[in-house]
């Protein structure tokens, strides 16, 4: 399976609390809900297309706990049946049970277990949110594709997907589009280590 990451971001790189003011108030964050004003039918159709390509979901503990609380209450197609029915893998060293079935807990050497999952036949193992897990899997060279959905807003504070010290990674832009309400959707393939050069140097 191909490992893909879907992440909602502000223009200044914050991923925290896109869906509501009280979604994630960690570290005193008070500016949640910044993604909601830009939702539109075009993006919902795109997100449904992405989810339709998933054969399993991969989540960090924080994201899993929030999703397991909210998604079982949402049954409307296309998102409800897919999110609730797909096999789910949660990376956690603290969870001992997970009731949002079907769920498997990954602990110990999570990158090695994710590598094993990728070797299974299938289409996509999709990583949604779960930025800390994403950072570790990016450093391990396991993420194949990033789908970054950037809202036209600066919030000035909050946790960032690519903080200082992120693992250097080369990317190739394979698709880009905008939605009527201004979301910029960039899809990148990872290409290994970045390339560097000197401007104006002879070829």
pLDDT tens column, 3-20: 999 999 999 999 999 999
**pLDDT value at position 46?**
97
Provide the token pair at 104: 């498997």
pLDDT tens for 89-140 read 999 999 989 999 999 999 999 999 999 999 999 999 999 989 999 999 999 9
Specify which residues 57 forms β-bridges with: 88, 126
Of 188, 180, 100, 107, which Cα lies nearest the Cα of 144? 188
pLDDT greater than 70 at residue 201? no
Q: How confident is the model at residue 200 (pLDDT cuts 50, 70, 90)?
A: confident
Supply the mean pLDDT for the chain: 95
SS3 13: coil
Say if CB 151 and CB 170 are below 8 A apart.
no
Q: Specify the pTM.
A: 0.94
Half-sphere exposure of 131 (CA within 13 A, CB side): 18
């Amino acid at each position: 399976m191909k490992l893909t990451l879907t992440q909602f971001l502000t223009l200044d790189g914050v991923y925290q609390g896109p869906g509501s003011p009280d979604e994630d108030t960690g570290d005193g964050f008070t500016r949640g809900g910044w993604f909601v004003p830009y939702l539109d039918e075009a993006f919902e159709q795109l997100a449904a297309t992405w989810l339709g390509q998933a054969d399993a979901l991969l989540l960090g503990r924080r994201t899993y706990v929030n999703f397991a609380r909210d998604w079982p209450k949402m049954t409307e197609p296309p998102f409800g049946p897919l999110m609730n029915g797909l096999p789910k893998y949660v990376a956690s060293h603290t969870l001992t049970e997970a009731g949002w079935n079907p769920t498997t807990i990954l602990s110990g050497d999570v990158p090695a277990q994710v590598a094993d999952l990728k070797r299974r036949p299938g289409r996509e193992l999709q990583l949604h949110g779960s930025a800390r897990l994403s950072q570790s899997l990016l450093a391990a060279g396991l993420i194949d594709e990033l789908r970054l959905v950037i809202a036209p807003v600066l919030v000035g504070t909050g946790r960032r997907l690519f903080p200082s010290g992120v693992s250097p990674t080369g990317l190739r832009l394979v698709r880009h589009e905008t939605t009527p309400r201004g979301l910029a959707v960039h899809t990148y393939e990872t290409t290994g280590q970045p390339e560097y050069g000197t401007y104006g140097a002879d070829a």
